[in-house]
Structure 1
Amino acid sequence: MSKDEMADFLRRRRDALSPDQVPATVTHPPGRRARRTPGLRREEVAAAAGVSVSYYERLEQARAPRPSPQVLAALGTALRLTAAEREHLARLAGQVPLGTNAVREPVSADAHRLLDRLGPIPAYLVDERQDIVAWNGAAVVLIIDFGLLPAKERNAVRLALRLRDTLCSAPAGAQGEFIRQSAAQLRAAGARYPADRVLGELVNEFAAHSPDFAASWRDHDVRPLPMLRKHLRHPELGELELERQTLLLPGTDLQLVMYTPDPGSPSAAALARAETHSR
Structure 2
Amino acid sequence: MTVTDFGQAVRRWRDRTPPDAAGLPAGGHRRAPGLRREELAQLAGVSVDYVTRLEQGRASHPSAQVAEALARALRLSGTERDHLFLLAGLAPPGPRTVPAHLTPGVQRLLDRLADTPVAVHDAAWTLLVANPPYAALHGDPSPWRGNERSAVWRHFAGLGSRTRHTPDSLRAFETALVADLRATAGRYPADQGLRRLVAELRARSDRFAELWDSGAVGRHEAARKTVDHPRVGPVTLDCDVLTVAGSDLRVVVYTAEPGTEDAERLALLTVLGTQTLTG
TM-score, normalising length: structure 2: 0.56
Structure 1 vs Structure 2 CA RMSD: 2.7
**Match 1:245 to one of 227, 240, 244:** 240
Seq. identity, %? 30
Equivalent in the alignment of 1:206: 201
Equivalent in the alignment of 2:223: 228
Q: Is the 8 A contact 2:154 2:160 kept in 1?
A: no
User: Would you say 1:111 and 2:103 are equivalent positions?
Assistant: no
The alignment covers a number of residue pairs equal to: 181
Q: Is the 8 A contact 1:153 1:159 kept in 2?
A: yes
Q: Is the 8 A contact 1:120 1:271 kept in 2?
A: no
Structure 1 pair 146–165 and aligned structure 2 pair: CA distance change class (3 A) = closer
Task: Please give the alpha-carbon distance, in whole angstroms, between the structure 1 residues aligned to 2:148 and 2:213.
Answer: 25
Structure 1 pair 127–260 and aligned structure 2 pair: CA distance change class (3 A) = same
User: Once the two structures are superposed, what CA deviation does each residue of 1:214-256 show, in whole Å capped at 9, x if it has no partner?
Assistant: 3332232344332233222222231122232111112112111
Task: Please give the alpha-carbon distance, in whole angstroms, between the structure 1 residues aligned to 2:107 and 2:205.
Answer: 32
Question: Quick check: 221-230 or 127-136, which moved more?
Answer: 221-230
The amino acid across from 1:112 in the alignment is Q
Structure 1 pair 138–165 and aligned structure 2 pair: CA distance change class (3 A) = same
User: Once the two structures are superposed, what CA deviation does each residue of 1:75-133 show, in whole Å capped at 9, x if it has no partner?
Assistant: xxxxxxxxxxxxxxxxxxxxxxxx97326453234322212322332111111221111
Equivalent in the alignment of 2:164: 169
Question: Quick check: 100-109 or 138-147, which moved more?
Answer: 100-109
Question: Quick check: 120-129 or 215-224, which moved more?
Answer: 215-224
Task: Please give the alpha-carbon distance, in whole angstroms, between the structure 2 residues aligned to 1:222 and 1:242.
Answer: 25
**Match 1:130 to one of 125, 132, 142:** 125
Structure 1 pair 142–163 and aligned structure 2 pair: CA distance change class (3 A) = farther
Task: Please give the alpha-carbon distance, in whole angstroms, between the structure 1 residues aligned to 2:129 and 2:143.
Answer: 13
Structure 1 pair 125–166 and aligned structure 2 pair: CA distance change class (3 A) = closer
**Match 1:268 to one of 260, 263, 269:** 263
The amino acid across from 1:159 in the alignment is R
Matches within 5 A, 1:1-279: 101-102=96-97, 104=99, 106-161=101-156, 165=160, 167-278=162-273
* Structure 1 unaligned regions, length at least 5: 1-98
What is the CA distance between 1:205 and its match in structure 2?
2.9
Q: Is the 8 A contact 1:122 1:259 kept in 2?
A: yes
Structure 1 pair 206–228 and aligned structure 2 pair: CA distance change class (3 A) = farther
Q: Is the 8 A contact 2:226 2:235 kept in 1?
A: yes
Structure 1 pair 163–217 and aligned structure 2 pair: CA distance change class (3 A) = closer
User: Once the two structures are superposed, what CA deviation does each residue of 1:192-221 show, in whole Å capped at 9, x if it has no partner?
Assistant: 122322212222333444444333322323
Task: Please give the alpha-carbon distance, in whole angstroms, between the structure 1 residues aligned to 2:203 and 2:129.
Answer: 27
Task: Please give the alpha-carbon distance, in whole angstroms, between the structure 1 residues aligned to 2:203 and 2:259.
Answer: 41
What is the CA distance between 1:268 and its match in structure 2?
1.8
The amino acid across from 2:188 in the alignment is Y
Task: Please give the alpha-carbon distance, in whole angstroms, between the structure 2 residues aligned to 1:199 and 1:247.
Answer: 21
What is the CA distance between 1:167 and its match in structure 2?
2.0
Q: Is the 8 A contact 2:117 2:255 kept in 1?
A: yes
Task: Please give the alpha-carbon distance, in whole angstroms, between the structure 2 residues aligned to 1:234 and 1:108.
Answer: 31
Structure 1 pair 165–240 and aligned structure 2 pair: CA distance change class (3 A) = same
Structure 1 pair 233–277 and aligned structure 2 pair: CA distance change class (3 A) = closer
Q: Is the 8 A contact 2:147 2:153 kept in 1?
A: no
What secondary structure, in the 3-state scheme, does the structure 2 residue paired with 1:134 have? strand
